[in-house]
A and B are shown apart, each in its own frame.
Chain A
Amino acid sequence: MAAAAIYSLFIINKSGGLIYYKEYGSAGRMDTNDSLRVASLWHSMHAISQQLSPTVGCSGIELLEADAFDLHCFQSLTGTKFFVVCEPGTLHMDALLKVIYELYTDYVLKNPFYEMEMPIRCELFDLNLSQAVQKDRVALLGR
């Protein structure tokens, strides 16, 4: 089933390393080096935005809107960042990111063989993630 207008998903650990990358569809396809570069760029930009922000206690960029895509970012209090790149104007991405965070806690962190801060290779996570990003599932998040 088609993913809901999402181009790609990134998860970055607290030190800025890319630990998960997944593409949906062919738009904006990247090779491994590019995805690593985007991840560390975003990590630094996020950090800089926190300092530049006029709002006190700003927690960094949550949404970047461009002509060709939107980038929604969610950072957990432990410092792990989740961000999706999607079609401009896609709805419910903040809710989807929360769902992905829950999946991460259930299927990555509870996997005894996953080592913290390392790249994620967990089948169960992949499986549940691909269900969560399905178009009709994401539409339900709006309710």
Chain B
Amino acid sequence: MGRCIRLVLLALVSACLSSRRSQSRTSFSSDNRSADLISAQLTGTKLDLQSRPMSRVVGPRSGDAIFASVERVNAELFTLTYGAIVRQLLTDLEEVDEVNKQLDQMGYNIGIRLIDEFLAKSNVTRCVDFRETAEVIAKVGFKMFLGVTASVTNWDADGTCCSIVLEDNPLVDFVELPDTCQGLYYCNILSGVIRGALEMVSMKTEVTWLRDMLRGDDIFELQVKLLKQVPEEYPYKDDE
């Protein structure tokens, strides 16, 4: 069976739950919730039985090294699960634009949690500028979570906008867009993940798809635009 990639399934499920729940909050009784919690804990116990190797790591690790050391899941399972989620969203929401929005929101929900795992396991330190950030996302981030490496190109003059180019994308392995879904950004979850993750390290960004192989382009191209760098909360201004 082809390649193996890292599972973000749990996170995916989490994102679905939180985004779906917000739409139908009223239909959840408190009893259901506690039952859900119990079942989540049960499945969690099953998934996380493996004990953790204790290792002392010094300095940033390469994407390959992290990818080799974390638990992975079969790539086809991952691809098919993602497909099932998109399909379900199309059924539920009917409008392609709404699905794009929902995928982006789900990605965002994943991103705001995933960034901590990324920082904890990669040992990267604060990036000096946005250029370095983009390189780290492409070389370490994509490798660590999806098992593919992306490249960064098309920088604008002031270094706030660039393109992340993916030649290989495990999400779309068996996918062909039908005529009815021509407006669908199938991988919109990825742009949401990047946006969410960067927001947690105080960078407001806008992430859009410029090229998409499902729409007949030769590569996947994500444009990442730095809107503003939100300063740390400190120092507070005393006179305001």
Contacts and interface: CB of A to CB of B under 8 A. Distances in A.
Contact of B200 (A78, A104, A107, A137): A78
B120 interface: yes
Given A101-B120, A123-B41, A112 B52 contact: no
A141 B55 CA distance: 7
Contacts of B112: 116
B201 A99 contact: no
A142 interface: yes
A131 B48 CA distance: 14
B48 A124 contact: yes
Contacts of A140: 54
A80 B223 CA distance: 29
B117 A141 contact: no
Interface residues of B, number: 34
A123 B37 CA distance: 11
Contacts of B41: 123-124
Nearest to A14: B233
Secondary structure type dominating chain A contacts: helix
Interface string A130-141: 011000010011
Contacts of B52: 99, 102-103, 128, 132
A112 B40 contact: yes
Interface stretch (B7-15, B152-160, B168-176, B204-212): B7-15
B113 interface: yes
Contacts of B235: 51
Nearest to B118: A105
Interface string B201-240: 1000000000000000000000000000000011100000
Contacts of A104: 116, 120
Contact of A78 (B51, B116, B234): B116
Given A106-B48, A106-B117, A113 B200 contact: no
Contacts of A50: 234
A76 B234 contact: no
B60 to A, nearest CB: 13
12 contacts: A101-B116, A102-B52, A102-B120, A103-B52, A109-B116, A110-B11, A110-B14, A112-B13, A112-B14, A116-B113, A128-B52, A140-B54
